[in-house]
Amino acid sequence: MASSSLRKHSSNSCWTPKQNKLFEKALALFDKDTPERWQNVAKAVGGNKTAEEVKRHYEILLEDLRQIESGRVPIPNYKSLGTTSTNVDEEERLMKYLKLQ
């Protein structure tokens, strides 16, 4: 994900971990059929994010996922704080609520 990380940092918009979490929750709440989806997501994220910025952030997320799924980017080997199944369960729980398409 190095290439997308560079894009994120070269953007005028920096995202805090808190904003990323709010972004994820807003994506689950406002799906693709929601009128004015990006305006609603921007409002939920706060921090003066514009609809254009949150839409671009979403496009970067999709590209990152495409890169990972195509095998071009290895999934990082995170050090486990507990059992592996706990980390997998948490990851599955998070992905369940992301409506990416």
CB 100 within 8 A of CB 63: no
Would the pTM count as exceeding 0.85?
no
pLDDT single digits (tens) 38-97: 999 999 999 899 999 999 999 999 999 999 888 888 777 877 665 555 556 666 666 665
- Using the CB atoms, write b or e for 60-98: b if 16+ within 10 Å: bbeebbeeeeeeebeeeeeeeeeeeeeeeeeeeeeeeee
State the Cα–Cα distance between residues 69 and 54, nearest whole angstrom.
22
| CATH, domain 2-97, list 1.10.10.60, 1.10.1240.10, 3.30.379.10, 2.40.50.140 | 1.10.10.60
Q: Is the pLDDT of residue 25 over 50?
A: yes
Average pLDDT, stretch 20-46? 96
CB 24 within 8 A of CB 45: no
pLDDT attached to residue 4 = 47
pLDDT attached to residue 85 = 56
State the Cα–Cα distance between residues 24 and 21, nearest whole angstrom.
5
